[in-house]
Amino acid sequence: MKSLEIEESYYSPRISFDVRHNEFVISGESYLEHAYEFYKPVINWLEQYLKNNKNPLTIQFQLTYFNTPSSGMIFTILKMLEEYQQAQHIPIKIAWFVSPNNEELLAEGEMFKEDFPTLPFEFKIPTMVA
pTM for this prediction: 0.93
Please write the tens of the pLDDT for every residue from 15-29.
999 999 999 999 999
Q: In what order do the strands lie in the sheet with 23-30?
A: 4-6, 14-18, 23-30, 57-66, 92-97, 121-124
User: Domain 4-124 classified CATH 3.90.1260.10?
Assistant: no
What are the boundaries of each domain within the chain? 4-124
Q: In a 3-state reduction of DSSP, which class is residue 63? A: strand
Compute how many other C-beta atoms are within 10 angstroms of the C-beta atom of residue 112.
18
**Kind of pairing between the strands at 4-6 and 14-18:** antiparallel
Confidence grade of residue 36 (pLDDT, cut at 50, 70, 90): very high
Measure the CA–CA gap between 67 and 42, rounded to whole angstroms: 18
Distance of CA 19 to the CA centre of its chain: 15
**How far is residue 111's CA from residue 108's CA, in Å, rounded to a whole number?**
5
How much is the average pLDDT of 86-92? Answer: 95
Q: Are 95 and 119 in contact (CB under 8 A)?
A: no
